[in-house]
Amino acid sequence: MDISKFLDLKPYSLTKNEKEKLLNPYFSKLFRHHYANCIPFKNMMDSIGFDVQNENKYSDLPFLPVRLFKMFDLMSVVKDNVVKTLTSSGTSGQAVSRIYLDRENTANQTKTLTKIVSSFIGTSRAPMIIIDTEGVIKNRNLFSARGAGILGFSLFGSRPVYALDDQMNLQIDKIKEFVEKFKDNRIFMFGFTFMIYQHFYKELVKNGIKLDLSNAVLIHGGGWKKLINESISSASFRDKLNDVCGIKSVHDYYGMVEQTGTIYMECEHSHLHAPIYSDILIRRAHDFSIADVGEKGIIQVLSILPTSYPGHSLLTEDEGILLGEDDCPCGRLGKYFKVLGRLQNAEIRGCSDTYTV
């Protein structure tokens, strides 16, 4: 599947009609690809009597529950072509999703992630602080979602330093030295939300340390459940970080290992945005019809990237609200939305939600 026509465009440059015109035929073709190459997927589509030869709007294509990737090995390539396996986050005893990638999928994930993130932070690689431990990325063939996130975002940084040691202790002297060395540079920071709060912010407060990171940009993601339990909102998270290190540019993102590469970045107005490489639909829980703007429902995610496995149209276990389309004050086109949290009785699975403190 050739995605070059998407990569030639800016991530948030198409109106609703333009985006649908581009995505509808692509998703019909991608759907037929999986039908032809993944027997379990074919059996599922046959069982519901779906005619894959028709040209459909992507909003009319069937979706798979994201949980299926925890139950079955689903792939649309021969196993010999798999070069990397990603696994989702999960607490001890939980089943995890296993996502099988070939070289084409791996390369396209990097290309789209680069287009999306560089549209927020620019194309220059900046000195990078990773608020995690280096040990999480040691096995390069079998990545957890946490390790994949770190390596993916490392593309945008240089001379990386890991803020935490193997016991998850903040390496304060190392960070101070790094901040002083690059005080005249823009610094790029990345980490998972709860780990930043627990092991970076709280440690700075406990030790009475203030860092000057006013020139830094922080991208974080990976689950809010633990912070919600501590009554920490997105706004208060940003305020607290600003208080201890002066950081002003903070962007949350929404994404999942089943669709790595097409993340939904938070803009300056705290809205998550769908790029042209993917889209979201909010579906009503009682009949899976599409909800109106402002109406709560289950988040469905669609991505052009999954070709080695049938993860192109997935019903998540998250609730959200579509806030609008093509009219965010930030100027980016496309849908913008808010994630409300996990569905009741769904397993927690965010990278930092499932991390055991």
pLDDT of residue 225: 67
In this model, does residue 350 exceed pLDDT 80? Answer: no
pLDDT digit string, tens, across residues 280-310: 999 999 999 999 999 999 999 999 999 999 9
Q: How far is CA 218 from CA 54, 191, 238, 245, 330, in A?
A: 44, 8, 10, 11, 18
In sequence order, which residues have a C-beta less than 8 Å from that of residue 23 and are 6 or more positions away?
58, 276, 279, 302, 304
Per-residue pLDDT band at 83 (split at 50, 70, 90):
very high
Instruction: Provide the token pair at 24.
Output: 């509808």
Least confident of 131-140, 182-191, 324-333: 131-140
pLDDT digit string, tens, across residues 249-272: 999 999 998 999 999 999 999 999
How much is the pTM?
Answer: 0.90
pLDDT digit string, tens, across residues 39-49: 999 999 999 99
